[in-house]
Amino acid sequence: MIVSAPMRSQVRPLGIDVRNLSKAFGLVLALDDVSFSVRPGEFVSIVGPSGCGKTTLLKIIAGLIRPDQGVVEIGGLPINGPGPERAMVFQDFALMPWATVLRNAAFGLEVRGVPRKEREELARSVLAKVGLSGFENYYPHQLSGGMQQRVGLARALAVNPQILLMDEPFASVDEQTRRILQDDLLKVWADERKTVVFVTHSMDEAIYLSDRVFVLSPRPGRLVRVLDVNLPRPRSSKETRGSVLFAKLVEDLWEVLREMQ
């Protein structure tokens, strides 16, 4: 369960503009002329068949790889690499196995040169926010998969980014844990209102979390559909997933994906 904890000052969310992105790896075209915008504070998901370039697109937005053509603008300014306004959460947790939970959560702050006392205080506050108070001195191998993913989320939140980029962060945990993590993420998002771009294979997850869902075609990835998710917020697993509108939106998304097979 997420609990209240002292946090950093609120940051202003930033919008993302993706224009005419193309990326090839050798002779394989991964993305082809992809364009879209994400509004400040919006939660969007990217779905599509395996190999359609979802992760590549996210890494371009993160500044980890460069496109062959096109541009990404954050807050109206083009990016040329990673920046402090963006943080990424990976599917495989990417934790340092030799470091404690506290040090893992504080790692981004350590890299940025934040003094130890300050970064540990900030790390403790975000660990509390994701329900990990009392686990600061544990090591990753002592945690469940869901708890490890919470540490990854805490590390991203600790640097107080304006944009959170998430690459299938819940894909490696069981369904029960996945739903709990989804609800935890929505609570964090409601509290901090960061701009979120979330890559997933799950239609249910995309609809449950998002304001809009972007659908990419099979490789090369092209944006073929934008689905508005007009479900009321705040959302709860029982009420939202039990609604007729939720079922219809999931079915609509499935129809789009099935037409591309």
Please answer whether residues 136 and 100 qualify as being in contact, where contact means their C-beta atoms are separated by less than 8 angstroms.
Answer: yes
Q: Residue 2 carries which side chain, given as an amino acid letter?
A: I
pLDDT digits (tens, 9 = 90+) for 153-184: 999 999 999 999 999 999 888 899 899 999 99
Domain locations in the chain? 41-85+162-261, 97-160
- pTM, two decimals, is 0.91
Q: What is the mean pLDDT of the chain?
A: 92
Residue 122 has a pLDDT of 93
Confidence grade of residue 91 (pLDDT, cut at 50, 70, 90)? confident
Q: Which has the higher per-residue pLDDT, 44 or 191?
A: 44
Identify the residue whose tokens are 């964090």: 188
Residue 239 has a pLDDT of 93
Residue 8 has a pLDDT of 53
Residue 4, pLDDT above cutoff 50: no
Which DSSP string do the residues of 215-232 spell out, in sequence order? EEPSSSB-EEEEEE----
Tokens representing residue 237 in the block = 């697993």
Residue 117 has a pLDDT of 93
Share of the chain above pLDDT 70, in %: 96
Indicate the CATH number of 41-85+162-261 among 3.40.50.300, 3.40.50.1000, 3.30.450.20, 3.40.50.620: 3.40.50.300
pLDDT digits (tens, 9 = 90+) for 39-75: 999 999 999 998 999 999 999 999 999 999 999 999 9
Residue 11 has a pLDDT of 77
pLDDT digits (tens, 9 = 90+) for 5-39: 334 566 788 999 999 999 999 999 999 999 999 99
Residue 2 has a pLDDT of 38
Which element (helix H / strand E) includes 110? helix 101-111
Burial of 25 (0-12, 13-18, 19+ CB in 10 A): exposed
Tokens representing residue 150 in the block = 């919470």
